[in-house]
Chain A
């Protein structure tokens, strides 16, 4: 019977055309074109190629010579660790705590999730005010605690910390919600059985909640790692052009910098290819890590 309605396939074609047209023209064609572009000579955005670059692998060889690529890869790697430990770790901690208390659960969920809804650009401005040298919120706060010296939060040694803290803070709530949903899916009977056997709360968390959350934690980790490769808004608003002294570049902001500021469009394309490859490889790696230690 159901087959009868959908025997005529012509409507299906019409239903699918707009979406696939969009995806082909705006995703698939540009994606492959971008790989092609990374072997061309393009110096203006929107301009045409001046032919193949010589040698064809120039841009990729350039990556190894370019100190800033090293810097942005190193920073992105640190960012990944921060997102893994800081975001996912903190989210696990918060989710388990909220799961074990009786009051204010809904309130915590609403409030923790809130920063994700706000545009990262606005948060960048907000954190600029908070970290202001003379004197933003933090330095004023430290002053009331008796510190006399002002901290320059954007100085070289500490800039990375200042940049990553807000990024981490913003997305904790996101993983928190995913994890708390996972915790709610764990059947109460398991906890009851553990309670009868005399389990302490810590044992309950260690032997029931965490093992059963494994897949959810794996998903979160993949998202955190690939997400770190794509961060743009907050770092670019707080530390435009990799300042101070190009030490805060991330893969995403460096790609933008090369394309828009340095006018190296072909090199920017090659950096974009690097982002894609890294994202692909790293998500495979994270998946493999979680699979290996199966028990």
Chain B
């Protein structure tokens, strides 16, 4: 049974699987090769590789020169990193309390967490904006406050999912290690940081990766809070590009490449955790 017999049916199956694989890989290769071509070549000869006469780096010079793509990167990475760190810390602490302490109402608190997953961002964004406008952290010229105004709702949006994943994991840990630490004289805080956190690392990785990618790719929240050009994060910049430079196809290809390639590289190295993280976040969507 170990050797695969190649019948006509099997070959068709392989062909179909490879066809679907091509639909997911080829568009990316296509956009990368076209990012090195001038506009008229993209429109007439997009399947050729950009060698010899076809090659130009002008799109990239323009992307770095006019678009402030590095600034957008800086904003994006700052936002996503802080969101990810806050989610991991707060969700970790909360999940630990919910899974180890038994007290009246803990079941109710957990169901509050689960219920909050049902709130789509559409249903909360307007009051959140009003609230932040009252605090004076939206629409200001302060870079830091503007970043905070995006970070806070994104943290809240990720907490529930993270708590649910982490509770599932922490409940499965043997309590003996915590008992041993307690005998050694550790208090609850020390137990959390020295015993629980190291043991829960794989699950933290899942949650962190999901939070980071979700925040990095989330256009909707950015559309509301990042209005000023110098504050734009990467997806917001791309969105702006369609309306302002909609016909500059070379520049668009270069911008897409600049956004996608780092993600591809990270994905290749961390795919195991990423796939796990994104599907554990299934319930979130």
Residues of B within 8 Å of A90, CB to CB, are 20
Chain B contact patch, size range? 35 or more
As a 0/1 sequence over residues 140 to 175 of chain A, the CB contacts with chain B under 8 angstroms (1 = contact) are: 110000000000000000000000000001001110
Q: Which residues of B contact A275 (CB under 8 A)?
A: 120, 122-123
B70 at interface, CB cutoff 8 A: no
Contact pattern, A 110-154, Cβ under 8 Å of B = 1, otherwise 0: 111111111111101111111010111100110000000000000
Known: A37-B126, A174-B279, A268-B126. A101 touches B10 (CB 8 A): yes
Binds A, one of B49-57, B140-148, B239-247: B239-247
- Are the C-beta atoms of A23 and B256 separated by less than 8 Å? no
Contact call B127/A37, Cβ cutoff below 8 A:
yes
Q: Please state if A135 and B101 are interface contacts (CB–CB under 8 Å).
A: no
Residues of A with C-beta under 8 A to B264: 114, 118
Residues in B whose Cβ lies below 8 Å from that of A201: 9
CB-defined contacts of B44 to chain A, threshold 8 Å: 135, 140
B101 touches A6 (CB 8 A): yes
Mark out the residues of chain B between 26 and 41 whose CB falls within 8 Å of any chain A CB in the assembled complex. Answer: 27-28, 30-31, 34
A39 close to chain B: CB less than 8 A? no
**Is A229 engaged at the interface, CB distance under 8 Å to the other chain?**
yes
B226 CB-CB contact with A under 8 Å: no
Beyond A5-B191, A125-B256, is A117–B263 a contact (Cβ under 8 Å)?
yes
A16-B109, A23-B156, A227-B285 in contact; A122/B191 too (CB < 8 A)?
no
Partner of B21, one of A23, A33, A111, A276: A111
With an 8 A cutoff between CB atoms, is A107 at the interface? yes
What per-residue 1/0 map shows which CB atoms of B252-272 lie under 8 Å from chain A? 110110011001100100010
| Chain A residues near B125 (CB-CB < 8 A) | 30, 259, 272
Bound Cα distance A135, B278 (Å): 35
CB neighbours of A227 from chain B (8 A) = 285
Query: A1-30 vs B: 1/0 string, CB under 8 Å?
Result: 110111011011101101110110111111
User: Looking at the complex, which one of B96, B120, B243 makes contact with A229 (CB distance below 8 Å)?
Assistant: B120
Q: Quick one: given A114-B24, A117-B213, are A108 and B127 in contact (CB under 8 Å)?
A: no
| Chain B, residue nearest A141 (CB) | B47
Complex interface bits, A222-250 against B, C-beta within 8 A gives 1, otherwise 0 = 01001101101100110010000000000
The reply to whether A280 and B118 contact each other, CB–CB distance below 8 Å, is: yes
Contact segment of B11-19, B61-69, B200-208: B11-19
Residues of A near B21 (CB, < 8 A) are 107-108, 111-112
Measured CB to CB, the closest approach of chain A to B152, in angstroms, equals 6
Contacts of A230 in B (CB 8 A): 120-122, 285
Q: B156 touches which one: A22, A48, A269 (CB < 8 A)? A: A22
Q: Mark A243-287, 1 if CB is under 8 A from B, else 0.
A: 000000000100110011000010011011101100110000000
Given contacts A174-B282, A275-B123, 16 further A-B contacts (CB under 8 A): A6-B100, A19-B91, A28-B116, A31-B119, A98-B17, A107-B21, A111-B21, A115-B24, A119-B219, A126-B28, A126-B31, A174-B279, A178-B279, A233-B217, A273-B123, A276-B119
What are 23 A-to-B residue pairs whose CB atoms are below 8 Å?
Answer: A2-B175, A11-B187, A12-B97, A13-B97, A15-B94, A23-B156, A26-B153, A29-B127, A31-B119, A33-B130, A45-B126, A45-B224, A100-B13, A108-B21, A117-B274, A119-B238, A120-B219, A141-B47, A195-B1, A232-B219, A233-B220, A237-B238, A237-B239
Top 3 A-B pairs ranked by shortest CB distance?
A: A26-B156, A46-B133, A19-B94
